[in-house]
Amino acid sequence: MNIVNNNIELPVVDFAGKEVGKVKLASELFGIEPNEYVVQRAVVVDLANRRQGTAKTKGISEISGSGKKPWKQKGTGRARAGSRRSPIWRGGATIFGPTGTQNYKLKLNKKEHALALASVLSDKVSEKSVVVIESEKFASPKTKDFVKALDAMNLKGKVLIVIDNYDENFARAVSNVKNVTVDLSDNMSVYDVLHTGTLVLTKSVVDDINSQFVEEEAK
């Protein structure tokens, strides 16, 4: 891990877009040189683990129709056939099709995932695409009020908001806003961070991250 930015400080804003303070970001997570290879691996694993594996085709035992031999084996001039449910007949079974029990799960070790997450977060910081908000607590449950807040904070395009806990008003207000995704801090996805325009973190999330690195350095 190569740290390239040791002094990262961002303003903290409220939902009106006003600056209410400043916060320092941990260089170990927001100031490293991105590792593209590990990010690519993390994205492949993330997308694979999102696949449900429920696609299914019918085998010969599941196809409706008679099991009677369509015609006698010899003497008709036609190719021999044993069943109308044969995979080579139209409407017949599927050979080697998905069974609905496919498992596409892949694994990524913890150090690789941590490096991939730090890489995409550092990339967002270098692009100046990280915003820190004071809290996820929102005064109104109305979507139109949250849209006004986004405009006040100058947040456009795809926005990923990372929070510690769901506030009821916040959850209702954000639920119908197009291009806005919400993740809990303990479930932050490398893919989601990589494919968002602006990353929004609550100050409590930043404080939790900073405290973890302070504790690790103390050890």
What distance in Å separates the CA atoms of residue 10 and residue 119, rounded to the nearest whole number?
Answer: 18
Q: 3 has which bridge partners?
A: 32
Closest CA to 155 of 116, 198, 122, 119: 198
Closest CA to 32 of 163, 122, 132: 122
Map 120-152 to HEC letters.
HHHHHHHCCCEEEECCCCCCCCCHHHHHHHHHH
Question: Are 154 and 174 in contact, with CB atoms under 8 Å apart?
Answer: no
Q: What is the pLDDT along the chain (219 residues), one digit of tens a residue?
A: 677 778 889 999 999 999 999 999 999 999 999 999 999 999 999 999 999 989 999 999 899 988 899 999 999 999 999 999 999 999 999 999 999 999 999 999 999 999 999 999 999 999 999 999 999 889 899 999 999 999 999 999 999 999 988 889 999 999 889 899 999 988 889 999 999 999 999 999 999 888 876 555 444
Closest CA to 150 of 167, 163, 133, 128: 133
The token pair at 123 is 């990339």
Please, what are the domains in the chain? 8-51+105-218 (3.40.1370.10), 52-103 (no CATH)
Cα dihedral 170, 176, 181, 186 in deg (nearest 10): 40
In total, the chain counts a number of residues equal to 219
Q: What pLDDT does residue 214 have? A: 57
